[in-house]
């Protein structure tokens, strides 16, 4: 890393010593998990570069944007409508929260029996180790789960926080509430940025972010092929990076990758042999650098071909209609698209169960692994229904509950290997 970045991090109030420990651990881990893979698409080079420079150029861009008078808005959930931030000439960044590194820092305050994602995000702020958090003018939280919404109260003692109320149901009253929240968010963002969100601006932002959704969907479509042209680990990384990269650059890079993987599909080339077991992973999101389960599955010889999660299909599924209309109509269409995200925080949430079965069929999977972060009660309870639906369809399921530590790696490996053996016989 260059001296310039150290100065930049210092300016951002980063705890440099702690930050060094975090960054020094990444290259070795990335080498073992990513660079050890064979026959990767050459276009993954861009994503390797982004990880190698994780707190460098992009943070510099955010700083530059702020120095030019722009605002940076950080989020933790795919429910926050980024279009509104982009339409106000702001930059929206999805924060990571996928590492064990910041968990012990958070545990100085939060109860230990809290989901790792919540602890990791809180620890990043408390320990001042994330330049994305430090660069942001505002963190936007949501009331999706109880742990998160109470964490945001505590987080607001350390950073400006705005919380959107996500309803618990998708009834007409729930949708009405959400529409009001989207409108209030728009007004707040206009105030924060000092920029008016015109219908034109909103429609441009919608087109841009739909472009990112289309590119990711295109990548996922290529994963339906057998042999699969890209590993699950690489596809997961692409989604993770797209949360914080510049959307236009991201679209360009993902489409270049798609050109390459589609050529592989036409040539019948893959990263796993044809007929290798195909796995759908469903459940809690996997924020960067949470690659634990994918690594275990793929080193055991199976291919992860799809993720039904917020670092997968729930992130890019469903476009916002682009047919313009009045500002009110556009905001309604925006609100409606976000209500199409089937998070387990909703009750009932039958659409997610339907999605899992549909995706299992579309991606021709041999089995589903339900991935649950420990202490995430919504996904854990919903897994009962997932299990029932998959049993009715004759699709094998393995349920896993874990956190970000490596303590259970051996046990998880044994369980995954036994599952793979079972589905191959």
Residue 402 binding ligand BJ8, by CB under 6 A? no
Residue 79 binding ligand BJ8, by CB under 6 A? yes
Residue 209 binding ligand BJ8, by CB under 6 A? no
Distance in angstroms (rounded) separating the CA atoms of residues 89 and 214: 22
Distance in angstroms (rounded) separating the CA atoms of residues 147 and 117: 10
Query: Among 22, 62, 117, 389, which residue interacts with ligand BJ8 (rule: CB under 6 A)?
Result: 117
Q: Could you please report the per-residue DSSP string of 309-365?
A: STTTHHHH-SPPP-----HHHHHHHHHHHHHT---TTSSS-HHHHHHHHHHHHHTT-
Indicate the SS3 state at residue 400.
strand
Number of residues that bind ligand BJ8 (CB under 6 A): 21
Q: What angle do CA 383, 388, 390 make, to 5 degrees?
A: 90
Residue 78 binding ligand BJ8, by CB under 6 A? yes
Query: Among 50, 73, 77, 420, which residue interacts with ligand BJ8 (rule: CB under 6 A)?
Result: 77
Determine phi and psi for 161, rounding to 5 degrees: -130, 140
H-state helical runs in 53-171: 57-67, 82-87, 103-106, 116-126, 131-135, 146-155
Residue 423 binding ligand BJ8, by CB under 6 A? no
Smallest distance from the beta carbon of 7 to ligand BJ8, in angstroms?
34
391-408 as b/e, with b when 16 or more CB fall inside 10 Å? eeeebbbbbbbbbbeeee
Query: Among 270, 285, 312, 367, which residue interacts with ligand BJ8 (rule: CB under 6 A)?
Result: 285
Determine phi and psi for 343, rounding to 5 degrees: -80, 150
Q: How far is CA 16 from the centre of its chain?
A: 26
Residue 103 binding ligand BJ8, by CB under 6 A? no
Query: Among 359, 373, 416, 423, which residue interacts with ligand BJ8 (rule: CB under 6 A)?
Result: 373
Distance in angstroms (rounded) separating the CA atoms of residues 240 and 252: 16
Residue 115 binding ligand BJ8, by CB under 6 A? yes
- Measured from the CB atom, the residue of 86 and 118 that comes closer to ligand BJ8 is 118
Residue 290 binding ligand BJ8, by CB under 6 A? no
Smallest distance from the beta carbon of 330 to ligand BJ8, in angstroms?
22
- Is the Cα dihedral 182, 216, 95, 402 positive or negative? positive
Smallest distance from the beta carbon of 50 to ligand BJ8, in angstroms?
21
| Crossing angle (nearest 10°) for helices 16-30 and 3-11 | 130
Smallest distance from the beta carbon of 378 to ligand BJ8, in angstroms?
6
Residue 143 binding ligand BJ8, by CB under 6 A? no
Query: Among 139, 345, 389, 416, which residue interacts with ligand BJ8 (rule: CB under 6 A)?
Result: 345
Query: Among 71, 119, 128, 148, which residue interacts with ligand BJ8 (rule: CB under 6 A)?
Result: 148
Query: Among 341, 359, 368, 423, which residue interacts with ligand BJ8 (rule: CB under 6 A)?
Result: 341
- Measured from the CB atom, the residue of 9 and 162 that comes closer to ligand BJ8 is 162
Binding site for ligand BJ8 (CB under 6 A): 77-79, 115, 117-118, 144-145, 147-148, 284-285, 310, 314, 341, 343, 345, 373, 376, 378-379
């Amino acid at each position: 890393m260059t001296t310039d970045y150290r100065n930049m991090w210092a300016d951002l109030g980063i705890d440099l010593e702690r930050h060094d420990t975090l960054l020094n651990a990444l290259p070795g881990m990335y080498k073992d998990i990513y660079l050890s893979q064979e026959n990767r698409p050459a276009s993954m080079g861009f994503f390797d570069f982004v990880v190698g420079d994780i707190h460098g150029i992009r943070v510099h861009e955010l700083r530059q944007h702020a120095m030019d008078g722009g605002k940076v808005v950080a989020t933790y959930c795919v429910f926050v409508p980024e279009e509104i931030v982009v339409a106000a000439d702001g930059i929206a960044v999805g924060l990571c929260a996928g590492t064990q590194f910041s968990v012990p820092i958070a545990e100085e305050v939060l109860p230990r029996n809290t989901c790792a994602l919540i602890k990791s995000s809180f620890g990043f702020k408390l320990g001042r180790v994330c330049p994305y958090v430090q660069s942001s003018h505002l963190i936007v939280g949501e009331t999706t789960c109880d742990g998160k919404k109470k964490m945001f109260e505590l987080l607001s003692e350390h950073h400006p926080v705005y919380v959107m109320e996500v309803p618990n149901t998708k009834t007409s009253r729930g949708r009405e509430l959400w529409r009001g929240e989207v409108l209030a968010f728009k007004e707040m963002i206009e105030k924060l940025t000092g920029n008016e969100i015109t219908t034109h601006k909103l429609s441009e932002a919608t087109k841009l972010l739909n472009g990112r959704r289309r590119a990711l969907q295109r990548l996922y479509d290529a994963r339906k092929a057998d042999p699969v042209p890209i590993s699950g680990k690489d596809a997961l990384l692409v989604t993770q990076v797209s949360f914080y990269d510049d959307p236009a650059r991201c679209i360009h890079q993902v489409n270049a990758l798609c050109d390459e993987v589609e050529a592989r599909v036409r040539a019948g080339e893959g990263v796993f042999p044809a007929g290798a077991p195909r796995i759908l992973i469903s459940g809690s999101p996997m924020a960067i650098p949470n690659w634990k389960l994918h690594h275990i599955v793929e080193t055991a010889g199976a291919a992860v071909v799809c993720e039904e999660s917020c670092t997968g299909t729930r992130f890019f599924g469903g476009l916002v209609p682009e047919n313009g209309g009045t500002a009110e109509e556009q905001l309604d269409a925006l609100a409606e698209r976000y209500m199409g995200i089937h998070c387990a925080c909703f009750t009932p949430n039958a659409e997610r169960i339907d999605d899992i079965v549909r995706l299992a069929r579309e991606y021709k999977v041999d089995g589903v692994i339900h991935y649950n972060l420990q202490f995430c009660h919504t996904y854990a309870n919903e897994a009962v229904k997932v299990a029932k639906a998959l049993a009715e369809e004759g699709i094998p399921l393995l349920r896993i509950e874990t956190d970000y530590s490596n303590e259970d790696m051996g046990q998880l490996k044994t369980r995954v290997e036994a599952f793979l053996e079972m589905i191959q016989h």
